[in-house]
Structure 1
Amino acid sequence: MDNSVLNENQKRNYWVTACVLLTCFFVSCAEEVTKDKIKVVSSKSKSLYTNSEEEKKTDSINYQDRLGRKQGEWKIYSKDQLVKREFYENNKLEGKSIEYFANGEVLETAYKNGDREGYAMLYSPNSSAAKFVTFWKDNKKMWATFPNLIENNFLPDKGFINTANKEVEIIVPYVSGETLLIGTIDKNGIPIGKHRVYYETQELKAIIDYDSDSLRIFSRTGVLEETRWLNKDSE
């Protein structure tokens, strides 16, 4: 066989072999990059950065967008124990911020556009009524009280705290969000008029009439079971 033909065939074989090797090399590199990328996006231990709108749609925890703004759910740990869950929109708290304490108690605080808005409740696990609740409007505390005392005794033994400096209507919630009490307090936190207490299933439980100093207690079926007088002189 002519040597020139042999050389041409050899050259052609060398080029084919080189192309195959280069292709394998780039495919391998691409796979490694993809693995690393998936590993970073699924990480929950550090903030995540992205340069694409597609990656913004992931359900990653502790996520920051390409502008460094916190987005979505953030979890904070101490010694492998979850101590806080927060939710962000464009670096501002939005929705519930939940803190978990060593004694088992939980503090939930509602936020809107970075400001406290709505209820902040401190409660024990498996309790239906909070130990303490405050109500916020425009990042200002309006009033506070002790829901578990109302649930158990109907009357707010420790009273109400009014920081709005004006007469306000209050709606005290159960931990579930259902209504526990509706009433009015004056600017000094003194309850006035009629206050209505509800079972968690929302049947009327009691009517406290501060004008007549009376307390009427009802069954879940609406039957009047007992009448008490807040002031013995009213009997």
Structure 2
Amino acid sequence: MTDSTIAIIGGTGLTSLNGLEITRREVMHTPYGEPSGPITHGVLAGREVMFLARHGYGHTIPPHRINYRANLWALKNAGISRVVAVAAVGGITAEMYPPRIVFPDQIIDYTWSRGHTLFEEDLSHVTHVDFTEPYCSELRQCLLASARSIGLDAHDGGTYAATQGPRLETRAEVDRLERDGCDVVGMTGMPEAGLARELGLGYATCAVVANWAAGRGEGAGEISMEDVEKNVSEAMVNVRRLLEAVIPTM
């Protein structure tokens, strides 16, 4: 067991963490199968942290095939208590333009057939967890304050729509998401946030707006993967700056 308490889960564009002084890699086996990869232990900005690439270190695991239960169980049992989850999203509302960073405060789950709970086998009683506020307010405020301290264009709040993937959404689907009150759309926000709550982990998402969602933005044509990659690459420079700023404050 390590005395590190902070984990960073990297999404699209963040399969490794520049500046992390790696001390060791730990292979974990869980009751829910294999995680996305070994947990990387290291030092970032003077603090011990752990890092896990959500899609695998080669970015080979699609959103609907990620073993979210194994990932969160492994991190918890490695000794962490807080998780900063980095994820690429599409912008729906006008304030969610690429390549902005967003710290959502609500989430709506549109996924299906994913292992979404730890409480389903060999139970002594039925367990419910409160999910009124799905993200840790304290951790969100740390992220927001650090983003502002280094001059990042970051947005406080918004509702994350978690869709199944791996395909992108239709224009009509995005219209529905906006009617439902969603501001950004991604494919990995759930069940990750819910599992973190079941495990008692402080969890917050650092969402990078990689593109306008379908039917949004100037021209509102087909989504260009070249533009997505460009925006993600630009934004991840800022994410790495943010992580180096926020880790010492946590």
Instruction: Report TM bin, short chain.
Output: under 0.3
TM-score in terms of structure 1 length: 0.25
| TM-score normalised per structure 2 | 0.24
Q: Determine which structure has the larger helix proportion and give its number.
A: 2
| Higher RCO (Cα < 8 Å, 6 or more apart) | 2
**Structure showing greater Rg:** 1
Structure (1/2) with the larger strand percentage = 1
